Structure 1
Amino acid sequence: MADLIVTNVRPHGGAAVDLAMKDGLIDAIVPTGGEAVADRVLDGRGLLALPGFINAHAHVDKSWWGRQWVSYGGEATTQGRIAHERAERDALGIPSVDATVAVLREFLRHGTTATRTHVDVDLGVGTRGIESVKEAAAALDGAVDVEIVAFPQDGVLRRPGVLELLDRAAEAGAASIGGIDPASLDRDPVGQLDGLFEIAARRGVGLDIHLHDGGELGAFQFELIADRTIAAGLQGRVVVSHGFGLGDVAPARQEALVDRLAEAGIGWTTVAPVRTAPLPWRRMLERGMHLGLGTDGIRDLWSPFGDGDLLKIALGFARLHGLRTDEDLARVVELATSSAAPFVHRGSHGLSVGDRADLVLLDAENVPDALVRTPRREVVVAGGRVVVEDGELVI
């Protein structure tokens, strides 16, 4: 007997079915209308069904969500944001388990059931942030599947001891280690990348590098990353986050870079921020690159914006890239759901038998309608457990 059956739902806007779930997985899919027998039966009311959203780029360790409003301060540059965060985070109790739980609950409210999150590792906090995130995920009993990237927000080589911290984090179980702006922040792209790749290869972990640098400076670092990925045999295990420079360069240069990145099996995550250049996303997908969407920080010392709704990020991506057709709009929703599976090390993530029982129900006619209206998530099921009902958290 199933643990949970959700009746009368329309996967991706198609024909109505019943979804049976057992032991946290989708166990059976049958036409709706038959007798449903399970520990619990939930009426899906003919709502549109999507897989749970996968947030491929988050920072859940340093939000002030749910706390007193914090006014924006410091300089509006990468260096300025880092300095401001270092100066103010202790006063806000960052990192903390409670704040991280609050963010993860908002993820669930909006239908996100898995996330790849960067967690700061530096000389000020050590690896405390990683422990806080692990404890927060455990407090929600795994409702959000959390994958951790140990992230050197304040730089790598310019802070002696950070490479050792990243090595310790990898040894302790971080799925990936991170890097940030090897050229403009550390001012030693070869040194930073060589150090990071050595740890990743030796520890058998992934590598995820924030790259804010634009134009040819960014392009130069993409080439360095691709070269090292191939040399180290890490194809499929390296991700570039943001990568604004790819949208800045001339079309022929852009095409050649995508081909090289695809050859190296580099994945890519974007938060589709306003006022940035569109990515060559069609060519990236055609060449087999994995492309994921993320929320980035949510109400933190970098920005007061964000609420954890990945569907809104997908809408921003569609607007940034001027998308209009049903096919394109539906493809963007796939970026936020099923095709983001590799970012959390899943072989598949969807509404098929054997997939983790992550389900989001929305009152929408079809997938494009859901994207452009971003209606509330009526029901969210995470790992076979109902966590949102009638739009409200129940955990």
Structure 2
Amino acid sequence: MKQTLPQSRRTFLSHAGKLTTACTVAGLSGGLVREAAASTGDCIIETTTNVLADRHYLLTGVRLEEGFEYDGETVIATRTALYSLEIKDGKIAALHPENSTLPGGVPRYQAHGQLLLPAMRDMHIHLDKTFYGGPWQAPRPRQGKTIMDMIALEEKLLPQLLPTSQQRAEGLIALLQSKGSTVARSHCNIDPVSSLKSLEHLQRALENHRDEFVCEIVAFPQHGLLHSKVDRLMREAMQMGVQYVGGLDPTNVDGAMEKSLDAMFQIALDTGKGVDIHLHETSPAGVAAVNYMIDTVEKNPALLGKVTISHAFALTTLAPEVLEETASRLAEHQITIASTVPIGSLMMPLPQLSKKGVFVMTGTDSVIDHWSPFGSGDMLEKAYLYAQLYRGSDEFQLSRAMSIATGGILPLDNEGKRSWPNVGDDAAFTLVGASCSAEAVARVPARSATFHKGRLVSGSIGKA
């Protein structure tokens, strides 16, 4: 007869976490989860909740990373331990080790041994225009089409999208939250067809979620700043609370690189805003545009640390020594690169940029729209892709790859010391069924719960 052995609390919670995750993957949100019975191995039923209204509470059974394990100098594993997080007024008030005495009279919830990861950040997305939330519609064929052809198509589509753009933006916000993201930067069309309506609709959507989602807005002249003559509308958008001036391919779309970039930067300087430009150009004109923007920041200290180049595909064309010099200049002038981590011939030199001190961030870009049907809104998936592309298959490099998804926040620093979470940090995190960051990046598990400033904004947790 088989003898039933007593389980340690750590083993029990680890097993429970796996079962909880399995239920989450199966779609049992807000319903019942299975918890392992410690003595018999049978399953018992526990109620979960997807509503958390307490300003002060404990989240128990949370798995935190403690340090690396080594074979010589090689990182071969990650040590973790269970904690109870005390959350108060949107902050982490205390980290209580397993089996420590917890404060009485404070509501308790259960994470079932799941791993705590920093909240993620989608730093390049278009919340204002999407097919998401409506019937399936694939993009039109792109073969042989120029960007000007796509702009002409968009001029016809925008009137069809505008009536539901607010509702679809809110649907995308929910999608991002379900993937663990509570921070975003959204580009928003400013064009002659939609005028400021796309912006107005997006701002209404964001207002409805202001306590659970943070989003910067880029006023994006999708049809060309000069080509569509929207300088006045762009300046009006700045007065409506937009944080960044956008731009688009100054040579291929506007046909005048310096004039287009000067106009974009002038709006930023006149209004005290930042800049985030789409630069897809891979011709020598794209390289010239990058250098011109670096020169402009050098001449205008007010722009230091306030400029982002999105896509920046021209960097893929540079010889190694030229890339090194350009990366050094980008870092010196605190110019950020926002990349979707593309594959194929446009695979970006992201590790080289980071090594030189350039801040690199990632985003979804399009989510099921007339440009692309492939956007998933999942930043952990971007970290997975980054690790695959740049050969980060070992424990250490897998754990480092998560940085691109979280804005540089990692549970452990390069020496294996805990750098997050800390007392006083915003309670912004997500729970996953993984043993460590490296496993989370490699396997991209479902996010069972997402928190923003202490609020449960997606998923569900156990009632302790």
TM-score by length of 2: 0.78
Decide which of 330, 334, 353 is 2:403's aligned counterpart.
Answer: 334
What is the match of residue 7 of structure 1? 60
* 1:21 and 1:384 in contact (8 A); partners too: yes
1:221-240 matched pairs, under 5 angstroms: 221-233=289-301, 234-240=303-309
Mapping of residues 144-293 of structure 1, within 5 Å: 144-160=213-229, 162-233=230-301, 234-293=303-362
Moved over 4 A (4+): 36-39
Within 1, Cα distance between the matches of 2:210 and 2:326? 42
Question: Could you tell me whether the CA contact under 8 Å between 2:249 and 2:278 is conserved in 1?
Answer: yes
Q: CA RMSD in A?
A: 2.2
Change (3 A) 1:39 1:166: farther
User: Which blocks of at least 5 consecutive residues in structure 2 are unaligned?
Assistant: 1-53, 66-77, 411-418
- Which residues of structure 1 form unaligned runs of 5+? 342-348
Deviations 1:162-210 (A, max 9, x none): 1111111112211111011111111111001111111111211100011
The residue correspondences of 1:25-174 to structure 2 (distance < 5 A) are 25-33=91-99, 34-37=101-104, 40-73=107-140, 75=142, 76-93=145-162, 96-160=165-229, 162-174=230-242
What CA deviation, in whole Å up to 9, does each residue of 1:239-260 have, x standing for no partner?
Answer: 0000111122211111111112
Q: Which has the larger radius of gyration?
A: 2
8 A contact 1:247–1:279 mirrored in 2? yes
Identity of aligned residues (%): 30
C-alpha distance in structure 1 between counterparts of 2:407 and 2:108, whole Å = 25
Q: Does 1:23 align with 2:89?
A: yes
Deviations 1:42-101 (CA, angstroms, capped at 9, x unpaired)? 211111111110111111111111211113215454333222222122223366210000
Distance 1:230 1:3, change over 3 A: same
1:98-128 C-alpha deviation (Å, 9 max, x unpaired): 0000000000111101101111111111122
One-letter amino acid of the counterpart of residue 64, structure 2: P
Letter paired with 1:139: N
CA distance in 2, matches of 1:211, 1:38: 55
Query: Could you report, residue by residue, the CA deviation over 1:203-238 in whole angstroms, capped at 9, with x for unpaired residues?
Result: 111000111011533211110010001211111100
**Separation of aligned partners in 1, 2:235 and 2:422:** 38
SS in 1 for 2:346: coil
Return the alpha-carbon distance in structure 2 between the equivalents of residues 300 and 183 of structure 1: 25
User: Are the aligned partners of 1:266 and 1:290 in contact in 2 as well (CA < 8 Å)?
Assistant: yes
Contact 2:342–2:348 (8 Å) recurs in 1: no
Q: Does the CA contact (< 8 Å) of 1:97 and 1:133 recur in 2?
A: yes
**Which SS does the other structure have where 1:126 is aligned?**
coil
Q: How many Å separate the matches in 2 of 1:282 and 1:205?
A: 29
Give secondary structure in 2 for the equivalent of 1:357: coil
* Contact 1:223 1:260 (C-alpha < 8 Å) held by counterparts: no
